[in-house]
Amino acid sequence: MITSKIIANGILRAITTIVLVALSLYFLYQIQSVLIYLIVALILTLIGNPILDFFKRRLKFKHVFATIATLLIFVFIIVGFIMMFIPLISSQGQNLSLLNTAEIEKDTLQLINQISSFLESHNIDSTKMLKESNITSKINFNFIPNFLNAVLGTISSFGMGLASVLFITFFFLKDRLLFKDGAKKLIPDSHEDQILNSLDKINHLLSRYFIGLLLQLFIVFILYFIVLLVFDVSNAIVIAFLCAVLNIIPYVGPLIASILAAILTMIGNLGSDFQTQILPTTIYVLIGFWIAQIIDNNVSQPIIFSKSVSSHPLEIFLVILIAGFLFGILGMIIAVPLFTILKVIGKEFFPENKIIQLLTKNI
């Protein structure tokens, strides 16, 4: 029989659970920076594991020295990246006018006027269209400097974050066996082998995936840079790098990259004639970017990703598409790593399932 005491106890437990969950979420929100450091350190650890193993097996380094050597490689890459891009952005930032709202508006309106003149020369009344749409009053040019100021704010705290990430990564690499032994003590004996096998496979596949992702982004960067260099676009390295980074977002990223490249190409050539120089150059750059994206989508990306996570290219495409519909851009970014983790867990815990067997036959 249900009594008032049982009901009261049930309500009390529910309220306690809700309060504990709320406090936990609030705590996680407060330490979100630490969580980001841990995630980045984990990704660097996954990338660094094959390098560390190379130093140990091929060069016969001791574990600690192999860890230090791996970390030094990361440091050299980061320092090289900073030395290459920061002075370049600083010296040419004025040309791009990225932080000057008035200059952005002036350049954009000048570009619109040139486009209007071009359209009117082809008997298209662009002035009427612009007045009816009132597009210039609807554009908020502050979003660009606001966004870039936020980026600069992030860069200003980059030093502390970088030191924290490298410190965490060092111990993730150095004490990975210690962490594994600690996990064994927490794992129930009945599932110990399955969980440890899953962790080993996940570590192996995700290490290959993130290395493959870096390789894919580097290939895209080279292709974009060649296109911009061929057509003598200003700030080619910076634009190519920004557009390559956008390729982290599957399928949507390349589209955004093309639009960004077109806008920066036009703004960078404002002193030239629109019909004879700006428009043809922009079209050629877009065509070059699309060719680069076709090469990436049909050659480098399927080969790198399908080999790294042992999945069919169509399988990866469908997973990214479904994740995009369900969770947006963030879902598209984490789709492949998360799907890989689920596949490994499924194979270890449900090996008799026909669907699992079909999806994990190459793992």
pLDDT at residue 153 in the model: 56
Residue from 356, 73, 37, 62 nearest 167 by CA = 37
pLDDT at residue 220 in the model: 92
Q: Which residues contact 290 (CB under 8 A, 6 or more apart)?
A: 258
pLDDT at residue 23 in the model: 92
Q: Which residues contact 70 (CB under 8 A, 6 or more apart)?
A: 48, 51, 52, 55, 173
pLDDT at residue 204 above 80?
Answer: yes
pLDDT at residue 346 above 80?
Answer: yes
Average pLDDT, the chain: 78
**pTM here?**
0.70
Average pLDDT over every residue of 236-247: 85
The model's pLDDT over 212-222, given as tens digits with 9 standing for 90+, comes to 888 888 999 99
Where in the chain are the domains?
Answer: 187-363
Q: Which residues contact 93 (CB under 8 A, 6 or more apart)?
A: 99
- Return the higher-pLDDT residue of 41 and 156: 41
Q: Which residues contact 294 (CB under 8 A, 6 or more apart)?
A: none
- Return the higher-pLDDT residue of 295 and 148: 295
* Angle separating helix axes 32-57 and 158-174, nearest 10 degrees: 50
pLDDT at residue 198 in the model: 84
Contact 250, 322 (CB under 8 A): no
pLDDT-derived band at 146 (thresholds 50, 70, 90) equals low
Q: How many helices (H) and strands (E) does the chain have?
A: 16, 0
* Angle separating helix axes 313-349 and 301-309, nearest 10 degrees: 10
DSSP state of 272: S
The model's pLDDT over 67-120, given as tens digits with 9 standing for 90+, comes to 999 999 988 888 877 776 665 555 545 444 444 555 555 666 666 677 777 666
Q: Of 42-51, 110-119, 186-195, 343-352, which gets the smallest average pLDDT? A: 110-119
pLDDT at residue 96 in the model: 46
pLDDT-derived band at 187 (thresholds 50, 70, 90) equals confident
